[in-house]
Structure 1
Amino acid sequence: MKKTLVTAALFTMLTLPVLGQDSQYWTQQFGTRTALLSGAVLGGADDNTMIYYNPGALGFLKESSISINANAYRVESIKVENALGDEADFKSSRLGSVPLLAGGMIRTGNEKWKVGYAIIAPVDFNFKAIARADGNFDLVDDSESIGDEETVAEASITNRTSELIVAIGLGHKLNENWSVGLSNLFTSRSLDYQRSLSTYIFLNDTENSLIGGNILQNADYFNIRYVAKFGVVYQKNDWDLGLTITTPSLNLFGNGTVASNIAVRNLKLIDDNRISGVATDRQSELKTTYKSPFSVALGANHTFNRSHVGVALQYFAGIDLYDVMKPAPGSFVRPIDLAPQLQSDEFLSLRSGAKAVFNAAVGYEYKVSESLSILGGFRTDMSYYDQDLNDGAGIKPTISNWDIYHFSGGVTLNRKNSSLSLGLLLSSGSNNSYEQTGGFNPENPDLVAGSTTISKATYSNFGLLLGYTFYFRKFSLSGDAPSSD
């Protein structure tokens, strides 16, 4: 179908921080030294981040500490090409900051038992973008409208996904070489998603007739789930080895709302007759289910001379497609006799799932002096997005289905009662076969569900990491005697 573009305009809205992604497990790293090593610390680290990485290492901790790790300044950018055919892209970028972990250790009076706690924000994803195309396109057969039709199309997406983990860890030192542990992870997940598409086409007839389509989808929910992580650490001489096993999640409770509204005016759907109608429903207080996969991780850390090297590997199992919420079937189209076979549960469905992924990390530290260390790390961050979620109707909120590669580097300054880490974070990812749904494609317009196109999506991040650990009680966890400095 030929087209002639007269004018095209793109409006891009800057967003709140795009911190974290919505289809990766390793986007964020926690703690100070740990973040600069890119999480390659499964063999153990001397702070309470082990509650998250490997609770087996808690038994070897000697001091009580509280730590906060923050990305003080961070610029992330997402671009999805061809949100409205070839005419406009989705772009989202923002400068922001957010604390990622706070926690500490509790004195037990027994040097072989350690208890820790942490509050962790592994996901804080915020994407908001608007694209608009305004021009003349040949969209209607010349028998009805000769020449190009004046057209205005606008699409928007808003996705705010966040998770907060409250973790309670328990570690037990078996002997000088072995320690085991268990972390109880209670995760709260929330989603607020909106997608809209409005298209207006003016025919070249005597009435300048209007053809229009409007789509609006909404989904919001929260969910609480529980995960147990078991860990074991073996330390001898200059070697530290770690193993963790994380259980599939246990769904606890949650609820949410889904809504969909489709309106068409003077549109040809089945035959040559133009019709108008709406398809709309909203269902609230629906029970929610959200799942985390089984995973197993293995890591090794080795110290020699002034250097320290760490490697971490983690496998995440897949999750079969499932319904996050289960809307009830019911009449969706008005007037009802227009399409009685279409039911609400199909258009309001919100599904999730995950493919199996494997991630790897490597970190290096060089100790310049007792008070100064230089650190660097690299890790993969494969997307677990299952492409089968693209099939069928329903609400599809996932944005970031691309693989990401992270680089980190910086320094740690150690003092008697505290340590300060400063570093740079660089991340990049792309998908050259990004399936963009719900847009406007002049070559193949669909005013009911929106057009689906294969385009390119890119992600980039530049951040300045500021991490701080404060030893608020410079005592051994097993008693009142001060620990050695």
Structure 2
Amino acid sequence: MQLRKLLVLTILFITFYSQLKAQSNHYWTRNYGSESMLLSGSVVGGVTDLGAVYYNPARLALTDNPAFLISADVYELNTYTIKDAIGNQKDINKSSFGGAPSLAAGTIGASRDSKHTFAYAVLLRTDNNFSFAYRDEYLSDVLPNIPGDELFEGDINVENITKDHWFGGSWAYQAKSNLSFGLSLFGSRTELAKGNSLQLTALDTDNEVSTYQYNRNYSVKTYGFLAKFGMAYKRDKLDFGLTMTTPRVNLLGSADYGYNLYFAPTSASPKGDIYANSYQSDLDVTLKSPLSIGAGASYHFGKKKILHFSMEYFKKVHNYSIFEAEPHTMQSQPDSLVSFSLQDGLKSIMNMGIGAEWYISEKVSGYASFSTDFNAAPNDAVSFVAQREVASNLTFDANFFHLAGGVLLKFKGADFTLGATHTSGTTDFMKPTAFPDINDNTAPAGDQGSMLWNRWQFIVSVSVPFLKDYVKKMEEKIL
């Protein structure tokens, strides 16, 4: 296969892979708490573990014994396939396996008769660190203005880092025996970084060297906070919940930006040399998230079965600029101005989930669930790798669908949860067919292709009561 096609397809593959890993335009991709994961997050009305800190803080006051640790080990297998990527019905495949973000939570001591419940939580909404490098060399006619074949070398490096840490606490108040209200306040520390570099070198038959080097990168670090309000209500066999999550409020943050473009063609080329670079720091940053409203219900069919249903509406976020680099000229061409703006925007969407829980025996319960995870990215999003003056932070336009199932095993002193979840999504795109044009730094589009993402999560969880609960039980037995 010619290197020209391979390099372009590598860029294409990395683009979609890094966009999949970020997943900032999908809101239900991550779930927290072993039970909540097996129910695909459809627990706004009936969450019974400390996942309530995230799903509905009001449930903390109506749960009989929320005072236990969530110690869940979650492993992910991600596979990516570009269909017919290189022609002749040949696909490109990529896979990765490793740990997934989880939740650590606990309750804060309060008297047994108190109507107030307090809890804390630390969770990772996103934690991705992905980079890719490729290099190859071969003999071919890569310079159209020069007769004959050239010895050609190409290097590609792409980096994508996304981390979003949430940390905070929850308060719940039991207004009545079957009615409670709650609030979770989260601080958010978000880091974004992307880099895209391309270096091409060609030696022609006259022993003249042409070089093309392009690099653009940025890093963002921002701090903010958001709140989730909750209401929980119990009546007979029905548990019901309502939540509202506020948009993210920015406190402080900054961005660094780097750009360089160096092009030195052979003397036979009609273009002159290009030398351009700019390195900027402490740029102003804005990062937004949508207002959302959730509702859920859990219906108990006797003591054997529970049906869970949840839905959440996410409001539209109008297009805005995350940061803008200061426009700068090319040192070799003072009349040429280079600009860059990283933008974002979100469509309004609604996700829904349904889950079933049934008691097989006193020690074994089963779970099965399904939920949607619709894409909120705008239709006109432009990839960062496209090398244009305006790029979007969101570019993957697939809708995801989640399936989950597993069992809960109850023993004296501990509960064990074993299960798995599956997520998949497909998107279409136009495949580029040539190297970026030096005039606009974009690659022309060719035939349409498709990208398929599959994720398997494997859950191994242990829930252990706090030591003080054991001590209390022992005291009751002794006294």
TM-score, L = length of structure 1: 0.84
TM-superposed CA distance for 1:386, in Å, is 2.1
TM-superposed CA distance for 1:123, in Å, is 1.0
Q: Conserved in 1, the CA contact under 8 Å of 2:68 and 2:464?
A: yes
Pairwise mapping of residues 355-394 of structure 1 onto structure 2 (< 5 A)? 355-390=347-382, 392-394=388-390
Q: Does 1:175 align with 2:181?
A: no
The one-letter code sitting in structure 2 at the alignment partner of 1:25 is Y
Question: Which residue number corresponds to residue 254 of structure 2?
Answer: 255
User: CA-to-partner distance for each residue in 1:187-218, whole Å, 9 max, x for gaps?
Assistant: 11111211112233455xx5254443221111
Q: Conserved in 1, the CA contact under 8 Å of 2:249 and 2:288?
A: yes
Question: Which residue number corresponds to residue 426 of structure 1?
Answer: 422
The one-letter code sitting in structure 2 at the alignment partner of 1:194 is G
Q: Conserved in 1, the CA contact under 8 Å of 2:220 and 2:256?
A: yes
TM-superposed CA distance for 1:363, in Å, is 0.8
Pairwise mapping of residues 37-48 of structure 1 onto structure 2 (< 5 A)? 37-48=39-50
TM-superposed CA distance for 1:463, in Å, is 2.5
Change (3 A) 1:85 1:324: farther
Q: Does 1:280 align with 2:281?
A: no
Pairwise mapping of residues 104-253 of structure 1 onto structure 2 (< 5 A)? 104-109=106-111, 110-131=113-134, 140-141=143-144, 144-146=145-147, 151-203=152-204, 207-253=206-252
Change (3 A) 1:136 1:75: same
Question: Which residue number corresponds to residue 30 of structure 2?
Answer: 28
Unaligned stretches of 5+ in structure 2? none
Q: Conserved in 2, the CA contact under 8 Å of 1:64 and 1:475?
A: no
Q: Conserved in 2, the CA contact under 8 Å of 1:258 and 1:283?
A: yes
TM-superposed CA distance for 1:401, in Å, is 4.0
Give the Cα separation in 2 of the matches to 1:6 and 1:61. 61
TM-superposed CA distance for 1:71, in Å, is 4.2
Question: Could you say what secondary structure the match of 1:451 adopts?
Answer: coil
The one-letter code sitting in structure 1 at the alignment partner of 2:254 is N
Change (3 A) 1:235 1:474: farther
Change (3 A) 1:279 1:6: closer
Q: Conserved in 1, the CA contact under 8 Å of 2:78 and 2:97?
A: yes
Question: Which residue number corresponds to residue 340 of structure 1?
Answer: 335
The one-letter code sitting in structure 1 at the alignment partner of 2:70 is I
TM-superposed CA distance for 1:151, in Å, is 4.3
Give the Cα separation in 1 of the matches to 2:424 and 2:143. 42
Question: Could you say what secondary structure the match of 2:325 adopts?
Answer: coil
Give the Cα separation in 2 of the matches to 1:148 and 1:74. 45
The one-letter code sitting in structure 2 at the alignment partner of 1:297 is G
Pairwise mapping of residues 263-302 of structure 1 onto structure 2 (< 5 A)? 263-266=262-265, 273-302=270-299
Pairwise mapping of residues 92-111 of structure 1 onto structure 2 (< 5 A)? 92-109=94-111, 110-111=113-114
TM-superposed CA distance for 1:82, in Å, is 8.8
The one-letter code sitting in structure 1 at the alignment partner of 2:320 is Y
TM-superposed CA distance for 1:47, in Å, is 1.5
Change (3 A) 1:123 1:139: same
TM-superposed CA distance for 1:133, in Å, is 6.5
Change (3 A) 1:6 1:176: closer
Question: Which residue number corresponds to residue 353 of structure 1?
Answer: 345
User: CA-to-partner distance for each residue in 1:354-406, whole Å, 9 max, x for gaps?
Assistant: 22222111111111112210111111112222233318514555564422222
TM-superposed CA distance for 1:482, in Å, is 6.7
TM-superposed CA distance for 1:175, in Å, is 1.1
Change (3 A) 1:452 1:63: farther
Q: Does 1:446 align with 2:437?
A: yes
Question: Which residue number corresponds to residue 470 of structure 1?
Answer: 464
Q: Conserved in 2, the CA contact under 8 Å of 1:382 and 1:403?
A: yes
TM-superposed CA distance for 1:182, in Å, is 1.0
Change (3 A) 1:5 1:389: closer
Q: Conserved in 2, the CA contact under 8 Å of 1:409 and 1:423?
A: yes
Q: CA RMSD in A?
A: 3.5
Q: Conserved in 2, the CA contact under 8 Å of 1:91 and 1:129?
A: no
TM-superposed CA distance for 1:56, in Å, is 1.9
Question: Which residue number corresponds to residue 315 of structure 1?
Answer: 313
The one-letter code sitting in structure 2 at the alignment partner of 1:357 is I
Unaligned stretches of 5+ in structure 1? none
Give the Cα separation in 2 of the matches to 1:188 and 1:212. 40
Question: Could you say what secondary structure the match of 2:337 adopts?
Answer: coil
Q: Does 1:412 align with 2:415?
A: no
Change (3 A) 1:429 1:265: same
TM-superposed CA distance for 1:426, in Å, is 1.4
Q: Conserved in 2, the CA contact under 8 Å of 1:8 and 1:134?
A: no
Say which structure is richer in helix.
2
Question: Could you say what secondary structure the match of 2:156 adopts?
Answer: strand
Question: Could you say what secondary structure the match of 1:58 adopts?
Answer: helix
Structure 1 stretch 62-71 or stretch 146-155: which is displaced more?
A: 146-155
User: CA-to-partner distance for each residue in 1:77-106, whole Å, 9 max, x for gaps?
Assistant: 234579999999876432111450011111
**Bigger relative contact order, structure 1 or 2 (CA pairs below 8 A, ≥6 apart):** 1
TM-score, L = length of structure 2: 0.85
Question: Which residue number corresponds to residue 304 of structure 1?
Answer: 301
Structure 1 stretch 78-87 or stretch 130-139: which is displaced more?
A: 78-87
Give the Cα separation in 1 of the matches to 2:422 and 2:376. 21
Change (3 A) 1:356 1:7: closer
Give the Cα separation in 1 of the matches to 2:399 and 2:253. 30
Q: Conserved in 2, the CA contact under 8 Å of 1:40 and 1:311?
A: yes
